[in-house]
């Protein structure tokens, strides 16, 4: 194989910088809210789920998280009183995460900060065409990295915004806690 071109090296360097900087920059924008950007992502997924509840494995998939990372963050959100773990009524072996009333209040109060941060940091500069290009480029890379579609963002079956795998609102299913059923 040949060496990477100068342009390829620049692209990778910028991608690495983006991966490093985006979470910490979002966390700084949310600092006064008392939650981090990944905690916000979990609250958002639960807020938009049927009955504000998801099986932990489904929550990991929806938020593109590993189970160990999800477990640590869920424990922290439990200590803050923002979510609770409850047994899944449809599967005795599974545990659900459920958004509390306080979790919903915190999520709704943080949402404008989060949205404003993303608009300021990313979307205002990209515009509509740039946003579409970003979605296409990141999907192409993610599809190679996650060929088994473990993360919801790599689901190519999504046909509309409401079906989009990156949209935390799960489609209606038999078990409200498990969008994979």
At 27, the pLDDT band (50, 70, 90 cuts) reads very high
Range of lowest pLDDT (42-46, 132-136, 175-179): 175-179
Q: What is the pLDDT of residues 51-106, one digit of tens each?
A: 999 999 999 999 989 999 999 999 999 999 999 999 988 888 899 999 999 999 99
Three-state secondary structure call for residue 75:
helix
For 140, residues 6+ apart whose C-beta sits below 8 A from its C-beta are: none
pTM for this prediction? 0.80
pLDDT exceeds 80 at position 127: yes
Residue 86: its H or E element: strand 83-87
CATH class entry, domain 6-125? mainly alpha
DSSP 111-159: HHHHHHHHIIIIIHHHHHHHHHHHHHHHHHHHHHH-TT--SGGG-TT--
pLDDT exceeds 70 at position 169: no
Structure-block tokens of residue 30? 């949310």
Q: Are 82 and 73 in contact (CB under 8 A)?
A: no
């Amino acid at each position: 194989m040949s060496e990477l071109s100068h342009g390829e090296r620049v692209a990778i360097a910028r991608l690495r910088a983006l991966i490093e900087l985006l979470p910490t920059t979002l966390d700084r924008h949310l600092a006064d809210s008392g939650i981090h950007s990944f905690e916000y992502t979990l609250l958002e997924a639960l807020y938009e789920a049927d009955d504000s509840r998801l099986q932990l494995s489904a929550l990991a998939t929806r938020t593109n998280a590993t189970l160990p990372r999800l477990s640590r963050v869920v424990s922290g959100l439990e200590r803050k009183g923002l979510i609770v773990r409850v047994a899944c009524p449809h599967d005795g072996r599974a545990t659900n995460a459920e958004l509390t009333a306080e979790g919903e209040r915190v999520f709704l109060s943080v949402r404008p900060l989060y949205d404003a941060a993303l608009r300021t940091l990313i979307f205002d500069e990209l515009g509509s065409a740039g946003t579409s290009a970003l979605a296409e480029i990141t999907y192409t890379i993610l599809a190679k990295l996650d060929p088994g579609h473990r993360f919801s963002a790599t689901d190519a079956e999504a046909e509309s915004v409401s079906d989009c795998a990156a949209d935390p609102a799960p489609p209606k299913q038999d078990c409200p806690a498990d969008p994979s059923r």
